[in-house]
Amino acid sequence: MLYRKYRPQTFNEVVGQQHVVQTLRGALTSGRVSHAYLFCGPRGTGKTTLARLLAKSLNCEKRTKEGDCDDSCGACLAVNNNNSLDLIEIDAASNRGIDEIRNLKESALVAAPGGKYKIFIIDEVHMLTKDAFNALLKILEEPPAHVVFVLATTEPHKMLPTVLSRVQRFDFKRLTPKEIDGKLKGMLKLEGIVVDPEGIMAIAMSSDGALRDAEVSLSKVIASHDWKTQISVDDVYNSLGLIPLNYYPEFLGYLATGNKSLALDFVNKAYSSGVDVGQFASGFVEYLRRILMHTINPSVLVSVGEELLDQDLKLVSTYSQALTQQQLIRMMNVFVSAKEGIKSSPIPQLPLELAVLEILG
Ligand SMILES: Nc1ncnc2c1ncn2[C@@H]1O[C@H](COP(=O)(O)OP(=O)(O)O)[C@@H](O)[C@H]1O
Ligand SMILES: [Mg+2]
Ligand SMILES: [Zn+2]
């Protein structure tokens, strides 16, 4: 799996999350590392990765002055090989009870050999039972000097305020399609595999900001084409069941020019080629939303890394007369209803056809 092979081994390799990287570097170089961190955020965005990097840097025998680990001393290699005695990872989803936390406490009280830090990573910490949580809280109240806790969760709203007040919290962000695209391209280069750039971007855009999901998708594509040296964009779409990126602008073009028959034809061709109509409806609404945001203020999209692709920019300027804000809002409402209708429709593509007719009158 690519995502294991390409887990960042130093801070430099981390994509995005620069607010976290910089603060951790600062803490390491100034010697002011907290005893407890809380890493919150969506899955696959680097929480475990950064927790492990913090552990490596803390105990590295040759830490750089920027706070990076050397990734080659005994302590670093032990972490890389998953046999470090100073890094303890607990999955709270499967170890939820008070006994686990009692064991953890006992282990925390024993100093790490060689004056090193003991780092405990507790993943999905919101899953702990109430008793276990309270026991953890007790430890966090008076943590031993050589211990650093990294609590990770995808659901920070489930954390008690008593815990929140004792940790330094970092909120991990979804990665932008551009950031994901960049990392996938880097990996492919190292693997010596050529994938059509549109296919790579399609993967990046379909993974909802989770780099791991994108890497898993890419692994799947590669695994199902391992006799090929060049993977085409259709290979990508077919093996992942993705809706091609050019479907949305094509469809919107028919709506913008009022071409009823081509729009209906498109719906039926897409359906018979195996496109999931529900997925298409939501994808199209999401697409319209981005166009709308662009017409209001392009910098909104740029700031979250969702700027339009060249093909979309061209479309917006070609059809600027037809794609007014009002019209876009109307289309979105119609397709949101169509998406709802699909669930109960006896003919899957019918709600999309009705949506076309409603918009084009
Ligand atoms: N910010 C990131 N920079 C580089 N790679 C990342 C990043 N986030 C996730 N990854 C990739 O995804 C994999 C899983 O990341 P992980 O840190 O376990 O995510 P999380 O703990 O947030 O679910 C990593 O091995 C790495 O390949
Ligand atoms: Mg994790
Ligand atoms: Zn080292």
- Provide the whole-model pTM: 0.89
Which residues 6+ apart lie within 8 Å of 7 measured at CB? Answer: 49, 52
Q: Is 249 in the pocket of ligand 1 (CB under 6 A)?
A: no
Residue 28: per-residue pLDDT: 96
> What is the arithmetic mean of pLDDT over 122-129?
93
Query: Is the pLDDT at 354 greater than 80, yes or no?
Result: yes
Residue 96: the pLDDT is: 86
Cβ burial, residue 71 (10 Å; 0-12/13-18/19+): middle
Local confidence band at 343 (pLDDT 50, 70, 90 cut-offs): very high
- Check: CB of residue 154 under 8 Å from CB of residue 184: no
Q: For strand 230-231 and strand 87-91, is the pairing parallel, antiparallel, or unpaired?
A: unpaired
Q: Which residue has the tokens 């966090």?
A: 140
Residue identified by tokens 């109240």 is: 141
Beta bridge partners of 36: 149
Average pLDDT of the chain is 93
Q: Strand, coil or helix: what is 6?
A: coil
Same fold, 2-171 and 177-240: no
Position 1 scores a pLDDT of 78
pLDDT bracket for residue 306 (50, 70, 90): confident
Residue 244 Cβ contacting ligand 1 at under 6 Å: no
- Average pLDDT, stretch 156-175? 92
CA of 242 to the centre of ligand 1 (A): 22
Note whether 273 and 267 are within 8 A (CB): no
User: CA end-to-end span of the chain, whole Å?
Assistant: 50
| Rg for the chain, CA atoms, rounded | 25
Q: Report d(CA 148, CA 106) in Å as an integer.
A: 14
For 134-154, give the DSSP string: HHHHHHHHS--TTEEEEEEES
Q: What is the C-alpha separation between 307 and 35, in angstroms, rounded?
A: 39
Quick: pLDDT tens for 193-209. Answer: 999 999 999 999 999 99
Residues 87/52, Cβ–Cβ less than 8 Å: yes
**Separation CA 242–CA 236 (nearest Å):** 8
91 ligand 1 Cβ < 6 A: no
What are the structure tokens assigned to 14, written together?
Answer: 């981390």
For residue 220, the model assigns a pLDDT of 94
Mutate to test the pocket of ligand 1, among 17, 18, 37, 49 (most ligand atoms within 8 A of CB): 49
Ligand 1 centroid–CA 9 distance in Å is: 11
Q: Is 51 in the pocket of ligand 1 (CB under 6 A)?
A: no
Q: Whose CA is nearest to atom 17 of ligand 1?
A: 46
Higher pLDDT, 226 or 248: 248
Mean pLDDT (whole number) for 145-160: 93
Query: Residue 186, Cβ neighbours under 10 Å: how many?
Result: 13
Model pLDDT for residues 313-339, shown as the tens digit of each residue: 898 889 988 899 999 999 999 999 999
Interval between CA 187 and ligand 3 midpoint (Å)? 24
> What residue owns the CA closest to ligand 1's atom 26?
7
Instruction: Kindly report, residue by residue over 47-63, the tens digit of the pLDDT.
Output: 999 999 999 999 999 99
Of 3.40.50.300, 3.40.640.10, 3.30.930.10, 3.40.50.1360, which CATH number belongs to 2-171?
3.40.50.300
Architecture of domain 247-360: Up-down Bundle (1.20)
CA distances from 338 to 150, 235, 264, 284 (A): 45, 29, 14, 11
CB 204 within 8 A of CB 184: yes
Q: Which long-range contacts (CB under 8 A, 24 or more apart) does 288-292 make?
A: 288/252, 288/328, 288/331, 288/332, 288/335, 289/332, 291/252, 291/316, 291/323, 291/328, 292/325, 292/328, 292/329, 292/332
**Given this model, what pLDDT does residue 320 score?**
87
Average pLDDT of span 350-359: 97
Going from N- to C-terminal start, the domains of the chain cover 2-171, 177-240, 247-360
* Ligand 1: nearest atom to the Cα of 4: 25
User: Which residue bears the tokens 């593509």?
Assistant: 349
Distance 79 CA to ligand 3 centre (A): 9
Domain 177-240 is in which class? mainly alpha
Measured from the alpha carbon of residue 213, the closest ligand is 1
pLDDT tens-place string over residues 28-51: 999 999 999 999 999 999 999 999
The rounded Å distance from CA 145 to ligand 2 centre is: 25
pLDDT score for 264: 97
Give the model's confidence band at 271: pLDDT under 50 very low, under 70 low, under 90 confident, else very high: very high
The verdict on the CB of residue 14 being under 6 Å from ligand 1 is yes
Confidence band, pLDDT 50/70/90 cuts, at residue 16: very high
Residue 228 pLDDT: 79
Say yes or no: CB of residue 330 within 6 Å of ligand 1: no
Task: Note whether 2 and 218 are within 8 A (CB).
Answer: yes
